[in-house]
Structure 1
Amino acid sequence: MKTSVWKSLALALPLLAACGGAPQQGETPADSALETQQAPLTTPTATVRFLTGWSHSQHGAIVRGGQLVVDYELYRMTDCHHSTYAGQQAWDTLAYVRFLPGGQLFSGSVKQATGSTSFVNKPFEVTVPTDATSVETWFFTSGRTCTARYDSNFGQNYVFPVEAQSPSAVAWAGDWGGSFARDCEHRAGLPDPIIIDSYVMERACKFVEAEVYVPGVTDAATARPELIQAQVEFSVDGAATQYRWLTYQWRVGNNFRYRWSLDAEPLAYTPWNAYAFGFRYSTDGQSWYRIANGAGPTGGTARTVQRNF
């Protein structure tokens, strides 16, 4: 497996792309590929997300001695957002994180002001104790003129396992595919550029998929996709790089497949000419394996989604 050298584009991104075939059932990549791609892991960082619609997800293994980031959507629970004092909003949301069996408890605000009346999520980060086997989280929103509310999974709290050590590093990623058709069926291979015309915009599915192989994770008897951090990194018309979490689909042979869905609303109602993009994968949140038009730490030149409507 050959690692491509990064070549700057006008849309400069640190990206990667597929190289060679995916490991299939009963097969593993060549030893030389593993030695090339598996860099030593640094202090692992995992993220747990709590979204509107009362869904939550884990991205990466929560590891003893590592970092845990709690990302809470402020507008998941809005009961106190009308609370004011002297003309200013007077409410806050606190995250509580408790590790077991030691009972170490941490708390902090997940609210950050961006103006006098506008706020965004503020990630809350803690260090995982070295004796932890699990972690539970809950949230408390209160204000000066409102009834306080708990977000605690109906009093059971949100519980996640803590691992004794990090999983293996990502060994391979590739096999681009997706769908830009009305049947929404995955098709192997991906054109570059991907053309979004009026037909695709109005009538077709729009998603990109790729696979990743992590020894001991993607080929394990029990599928645990939460141990892998998978993101799309993209730039719109040369602007700053943005990151979005990919969605796990299912196991394919010894690989996991992840999807990037291109949302119709920003494509239709915001100005843009081209997206430059690639995928990246990690098991520690620090060292990333990228794919775009190459594969490795940089991923080669970015792939493109081009507007034609």
Structure 2
Amino acid sequence: MNRENGAADGLDWLEAELADTIDEDYEFELSEPALSMEIRKIYRKAHPDTIERQTYFRELIRLQSELIKLQDWVAHTKEKIVVLFEGRDSAGKGGVIKRITQRLNPRIARVVALPAPSDREKTQWYFQRYVPHLPAGGEIVLFDRSWYNRAGVERVMGFATPDEVEQFFDDVPEFERMLVRSGIRLVKYWFSITDEEQQMRFLMRIHDPMKQWKLSPMDLQSRVRWEAYTKAKEEMFARTNIPEAPWYIVEGNDKKRARLNCMDHLLGLVPYEPVPHEEITLPDRVFNPNYERATLPPELYVPKKY
């Protein structure tokens, strides 16, 4: 294959991937017609300069291809990476995690989203339930919320006592230094949105039957206690922004830009390099002249409704 044909094939692949990604994004957003027209008008008016759709998808695919290279490097070098995603409810954490992991191997890059602690876990050392999810060599772990629940929701909602919160602030810098000393690359992101943007996203979820599951009573309380969450966040930054594991703030009002900016920044933090790959060749199919494929009963097949 000559260089011109190779370049053409590459462009064909990119166009195919672009079309496929756009289709997937449409699937994510198919519920939009269920929104009231007024809510949609308000949302579009608030985001008049969002990034062009084609530009967004081209950059998304480019960054995802780099994430695959990062994944290969992590597997090859046995590196260990932990990325924490924190932020207010509806700030866009889940959206960026979905795009980061979309094309990665789930055996290498996995997402941890722990439920509320059980009665037994409440009696344990606070960090204990997070430790089993930390990566071994050659793994990337993305925490969709993390041990910083204690500095945020547990503190604001009264699930942790003032003494427990203070103990957390005393312990977490040393806990994270221990992780870094053990060889873990620890990255901490805070997704920041404005009061008005959160209200708009909550309204969209309320009016969208396919997204109402994302709203919990705790989410609704976060609207009531916006200022309390702000004060908690400010103290969290002041007391846990350590040189070994600093915080990085992602401006999240524009979801698409936030995703691209976060992915690009994460790639820039890790000194990944190309790694050697064995050439893959498809072996010839072995044919057995005495083998006859059995006819399976029709009731085993899924009905062809489409």
Could you tell me the TM-score, scaled by structure 1's length?
Answer: 0.21
Could you tell me the TM-score, scaled by structure 2's length?
Answer: 0.21
Larger Rg: 2
As a proportion of its length, which structure holds more strand? 1
As a proportion of its length, which structure holds more helix? 2
